[in-house]
Amino acid sequence: MQKLNRWVYALVGILVLFCGGVIYAWSVLSAPIAAEFPQWTKAQLSVTFTITIIMFCLGCMIGGFFSSRVSPKLYVLAAAVLFLAGFQITAGIHSLGALYLGFGVISGLGAGFVYNAVMSTITKWFPDRQGLISGLLLMGFGLSAFAIGKLYQALTPGEAGAWRDSFRVMSLVIFGVLMVCIPFFAKPGPDFVPPAGATKKARSLNPAAAETSTGQMLRKAAFWLYYLWAIALSAVGLALVSQAAGSASEVGVNASPGTIATVVGLISIFNAFGRVLSGMLYDRKGRSFTMHSINLLFIAASVILMAGLSTRSFFLIIVGFILGGLSYGGVPPINSAFISGYYGQKHFSMNFSVINTNMIFASFGSTIAGFLYDASGSYFSTYLFMAALAAAGIVLTLCIDTCDRRTLAKLRK
């Protein structure tokens, strides 16, 4: 397998993450479950996704902790079994506990395993294009929620209980795909020759880069500044997603439900494109330029959305969703490229799993957005909140720039 063209590994990684990203289709997957169990409140059902995200982060961390002792092939195998078991349990649920266990704990853990296995293995084949490969891989993860959600809606009949068969079919399909992809999870061997200039290019993007253990990384100010940035900007994206349908419906009073769903879906579509574009931008212009671009694009999206609400312009709402999706998609690939570029590949698996825990804290962005709407009765407050967080992102980016200059000054002495 090691003699294959490295882009074959990239395609396999995209496919595997496409399967793993099914957990993000929860809002669509849960709709018929909520209809069958009306006694379960929205809050109780939302706990499922919270558990899923926590277990996803835990799976990433387990994968990182044992990366030097356990083959990534075993993690993909474990993920295949976990998805099979988790979705089969979900298909047979009659209690919240079973739902939390099947979809939340077991499937979430499986998603974390494949996420870490793909990002820590496939990215090693592209030392010269860390931004691009991160964007391409995570594009698969981002598109999954939209594509699988649409497929689920199209293939799941309206009658009660039909969603159970859909879950059973998905469990078998995901299991089969992951099993077929296992042999491709091979890290570059000693005979792998990076493209000419790969090391020089990586050094030019971050002259202060060095192989850094997780403990050392956690003692660096630049890491914590970036961690806060990732929380803030991810929270902006989640706030946008959580309130998108409501704000689109409020402005597009004459739009059909199908049109509203399509407009909201633009966020997911452009989120996927944004992952690739930001990865390419990172490789060409570096971390600072890319982070500032995302900050400013989010502010622009927030301002346009506020203008759309004020003028009742459905067109401006659409433009705001497109820009918001592009900027939100830029955050995940920078997580990977930042960890690789600043702290090296030796401890990448564990370091990357640590940076991903920002998602737990960022998930409260949607909660805060809901609270702001309840308190003000307007989505304007949510978009103002988004703009404020993006502005904070500018400050944090500038602080990281300052840390870089200080580090370089010490290296030159």
Please write the tens of the pLDDT for every residue from 351-396: 988 998 998 888 788 778 888 888 888 889 999 999 999 999 999 9
pTM of the model: 0.81
- With beta carbons less than 8 A apart as the criterion, state whether 85 and 106 touch: yes
Please compute the mean of the pLDDT values over residues 166-174 and round it to a whole number: 95
Tell me what pLDDT residue 205 has. Answer: 52
| pLDDT above 50 (res 119) | yes
* CB atoms closer than 10 angstroms to residue 107: 32
Residues 54-102 have pLDDT tens digits of 899 899 989 888 877 889 999 999 999 999 999 999 999 999 999 999 9
- With beta carbons less than 8 A apart as the criterion, state whether 229 and 397 touch: yes
* CB atoms closer than 10 angstroms to residue 43: 7
Element (H or E) spanning 158, and its range?
none
> Which of 144, 149, 145 shows the shortest CA–CA distance to 163?
149
Residues 6+ apart with CB under 8 A from 299: 387, 390, 391
Rounded to whole angstroms, the Cα distance separating 48 from 99 reads 7
Rounded to whole angstroms, the Cα distance separating 76 from 186 reads 12
Rounded to whole angstroms, the Cα distance separating 13 from 7 reads 10
Residue 39 identity (one-letter amino acid): Q
At which residue do the structure tokens 């006694």 appear? Answer: 39
Tell me what pLDDT residue 374 has. Answer: 80
DSSP 194: P
What tokens were used for 350? 């564990």
Lowest-confidence pick of 34-48, 50-64, 184-198, 238-252: 184-198
* Domains and their CATH numbers in the chain: 6-184 (1.20.1250.20), 198-412 (1.20.1250.20)
